[in-house]
Amino acid sequence: MPNLYNIENFFGSIAIVILVVLILVIIVKNIRIVQQAQAHVIERLGAYSTTWGVGLHFKIPLIERVARVVSLKEQVVDFKPQPVITKDNVTMQIDTVLYFEITDPKLFTYGVEQPMPALENLTATTLRNIIGELELDQTLTSRDTINSKMRIILDEATDPWGIRVNRVELKNIIPPREIQEAMEKQMKAERERREAILRAEGEKRSAILVAEGERESEILRAEAKKQAQILEAKGEAEAILEVQRAIAEGIKMINEANPSDAFIKIRSLEAFTAAANGKATKIIIPSEIQGLAGLATSFKEVLGTPTVDGREGK
Please give the DSSP secondary-structure letter assigned to residue 73. Answer: S
One DSSP character per residue, 25-64 reads: HHHHHTEEEEPTTEEEEEEETTEEEEEE-SEEEEPPTTTE
Q: Are 299 and 269 a contacting pair, CB within 8 Å? A: yes
Looking at the domain assignment, is residue 164 inside a domain? Answer: yes
One DSSP character per residue, 91-113 reads: EEEEEEEEEEEES-HHHHHHSSS
| Residue 154: burial class (beta carbons within 10 Å; 0-12, 13-18, 19+) | buried
Looking at the domain assignment, is residue 162 inside a domain? Answer: yes
Is this model's pTM higher than 0.85 or not? no
| Residue 162: burial class (beta carbons within 10 Å; 0-12, 13-18, 19+) | buried
Q: What is the pLDDT of residue 293?
A: 44
Single out the residue in 33, 50, 71 at which a domain terminates.
71
Looking at the domain assignment, is residue 13 inside a domain? Answer: yes
Query: Are 91 and 155 in a shared domain?
Result: yes
Per-residue pLDDT of the chain (314 residues; tens, 9 = 90+): 455 566 667 677 788 888 888 888 888 888 889 999 999 999 999 899 999 999 999 988 889 999 999 999 999 999 888 899 998 888 899 999 999 999 999 999 998 888 999 999 999 999 999 999 998 888 888 899 999 999 999 999 999 999 999 999 998 888 888 877 877 788 888 888 888 898 898 888 888 988 888 888 888 888 888 888 888 888 888 888 888 888 777 777 777 766 666 666 666 666 656 555 555 555 555 555 555 445 445 545 544 544 444 444 43
Query: Are 264 and 254 in a shared domain?
Result: no
Looking at the domain assignment, is residue 182 inside a domain? Answer: no
Q: Give the whole-angstrom CA distance, residue 241 versus residue 234.
A: 10
Q: Are 66 and 32 a contacting pair, CB within 8 Å? A: yes
Single out the residue in 175, 206, 221 at which a domain terminates.
175
Looking at the domain assignment, is residue 276 inside a domain? Answer: yes
The residue type of 125 is T
- Residue 202 φ/ψ, nearest 5 degrees: -65, -45
Q: Give the whole-angstrom CA distance, residue 75 versus residue 101.
A: 6
- Residue 146 φ/ψ, nearest 5 degrees: -65, -45
Query: Are 108 and 95 in a shared domain?
Result: yes
Query: Are 216 and 251 in a shared domain?
Result: yes
Query: Are 212 and 298 in a shared domain?
Result: no
Query: Are 237 and 272 in a shared domain?
Result: no
Query: Are 264 and 301 in a shared domain?
Result: yes
| HSE (side-chain half, CA atoms, 13 Å) at 146 | 30
Query: Are 161 and 118 in a shared domain?
Result: yes
Q: Range of 51's domain?
A: 2-71
Looking at the domain assignment, is residue 252 inside a domain? Answer: yes
Query: Are 215 and 298 in a shared domain?
Result: no
The structural domain count of the chain equals 4
Q: What is the pLDDT of residue 29?
A: 86
Query: Are 15 and 83 in a shared domain?
Result: no
- Counts of helices then strands in the chain (DSSP H, E): 9, 11
Q: Give the whole-angstrom CA distance, residue 164 versus residue 103.
A: 7
Q: Give the whole-angstrom CA distance, residue 46 versus residue 67.
A: 9
Single out the residue in 71, 94, 118 at which a domain terminates.
71
Which CATH number do you get for residue 108? 3.30.479.30
Query: Are 197 and 158 in a shared domain?
Result: no
Looking at the domain assignment, is residue 313 inside a domain? Answer: no
One DSSP character per residue, 230-264 reads: HHHHHHHHHHHHHHHHHHHHHHHHHHHH---HHHH
Query: Are 117 and 155 in a shared domain?
Result: yes
Looking at the domain assignment, is residue 184 inside a domain? Answer: no
Q: Give the whole-angstrom CA distance, residue 119 versus residue 102.
A: 12
Q: Are 164 and 99 a contacting pair, CB within 8 Å? A: no
Distances, alpha carbon 238 to alpha carbons 230, 235, 242, 250, in Å: 12, 5, 6, 18
Q: What is the pLDDT of residue 287?
A: 56
